[in-house]
Amino acid sequence: MTVKRRKVTEPVRIAVFVSGGGTNLQALIDAQKDGILRTGKISLVLSSKRDAYALTRANDNDIPTVVVPRKECATQAEFEEGIYTALREYHIELIVLAGFLSILSEDFVQKWPRRIINVHPSLIPSFCGKGYYGLRVHEEALKYGVKVTGATVHFVNEVTDGGEIILQKSVAIHKNDTPESLQQRVMRQAEWVLLPRAAEQVSLEILYNRGKTTPNKQ
């Protein structure tokens, strides 16, 4: 492990991990422009896919990007070594998973306690865990017949969707909802609202504790 101390006045450096379109990344970028995300700064967008549109969003906003293609890495260790290299280079303190579809190992996660956050499109502990992502979450919510769903931002640990909850927001389910319409409403009303707030909240925690533990880890 290497540790880089940062001045208390410097923003917390955030890496946003992506694999696709980057709508949650856009919410974070917009929040930064609007002053909602102010203690933290998006300092890197890291993608597991070369063709992720999220990279275009980052480039359009002058945010550095790194691609570590999971399919081109022979092993999980090789994949994560590429990630570690980028995190060290950009002195990252907080990781935000925003539609990142690649698995991070237990070893990786344990080296970043309370420094990785994720947004999940349900009210955890409902419709979460292994295999619950994307439209499947909303399909299951509609199939089960719940009247309220929502989104959750949580810390990431070695259990899928099992980390401590940071923020939640409920969203009503409408009678004629489809998985697609529900997905869109959960994103607009909950995910895009919660994720920037949670990133700011955790950045404040990191800033408060800066000087005690500031990880740039391997």
Catalytically active residues are 120
Q: Are 167 and 194 within 8 A, CB to CB?
A: yes
Residues 6+ apart with CB under 8 A from 148: 123, 170, 171, 172, 173
DSSP characters for 161-215?
A: T-SPEEEEEEEEPPTT--HHHHHHHHIIIIIHHHHHHHHHHHHHHHHHHTTT--E
